[in-house]
Homo-oligomer: A and B are copies of this chain.
């Protein structure tokens, strides 16, 4: 076991998600999409999720203002579009035009979601926790959507078909296969 000279954070894998926002003034809607991987689950009752965004970024400012956002989980088919959402700036580029993603309207919040993403979740902002370079935005999930083509017999998303991405140390990875259920040692 080698101790590295510089501290590194190798926590992995992380999710690859798209976060959608809308800034509306009168009838003019400015929609945006960012790609992030610093995201996690905080609680299950209610369902809380955290997304971490670098301070000063366009999307973080809008979420703090509107207090709502979408979480859209994309498949690897759209890797180019995902990476474009992470490398361009929403105050300069219309990312729905850039990626050709198809927006659909959320029901509880005034934010577009993404039809090409097999999982979409509507979130309201619950809290903001400030770190040195990033803000952690805590969202409460208020609605969950799954593409009807990817629902299994139990009503869950069929992850074997979704082809979602994993993020490891600045690399995009595919997932492999399911090997066991949680708590399998208790059941055997």
A interface with B by C-beta (< 8 Å): 1-4, 6-15, 17, 38-50, 52, 71, 73, 76, 79-80, 83-84, 86-87, 104, 107, 113, 115, 119-121, 129, 131-134, 136, 141-148, 151, 155-157, 159, 164, 166-186
Tell me if A2 and B151 are in contact (CB < 8 A).
Answer: yes
Given A1-B104, A39-B40: A182 and B171 within 8 A (CB)? yes
Tell me if A156 and B144 are in contact (CB < 8 A).
Answer: no
- Which residues of the partner chain B approach A167 to less than 8 Å between Cβ atoms? 182
Tell me if B11 and A143 are in contact (CB < 8 A).
Answer: no
Copies held by the complex: 2
Given A3-B145, A145-B4: A49 and B9 within 8 A (CB)? yes
For the complex of A and B, 7 pairs with smallest distance between CB atoms: A174-B176, A40-B40, A43-B131, A9-B47, A170-B182, A83-B185, A8-B144
Looking at chain A's contact residues, the main secondary structure is strand
Given A15-B13, A52-B40, A169-B157: A132 and B45 within 8 A (CB)? yes
- Which residues of the partner chain B approach A80 to less than 8 Å between Cβ atoms? 185
- Which residues of the partner chain B approach A107 to less than 8 Å between Cβ atoms? 3
Tell me if A11 and B39 are in contact (CB < 8 A).
Answer: yes
Tell me if B9 and A186 are in contact (CB < 8 A).
Answer: no
Given A15-B14, A176-B176, A178-B172: A42 and B144 within 8 A (CB)? no
In the assembled complex, the Cα of A105 lies from the Cα of B6 at a distance in Å of: 19
23 contacts between A and B (CB under 8 A): A2-B147, A6-B144, A7-B47, A9-B41, A11-B17, A12-B73, A14-B40, A39-B40, A42-B134, A43-B133, A48-B132, A79-B180, A83-B182, A83-B183, A86-B182, A159-B171, A159-B173, A166-B166, A168-B178, A171-B182, A172-B178, A174-B177, A175-B176
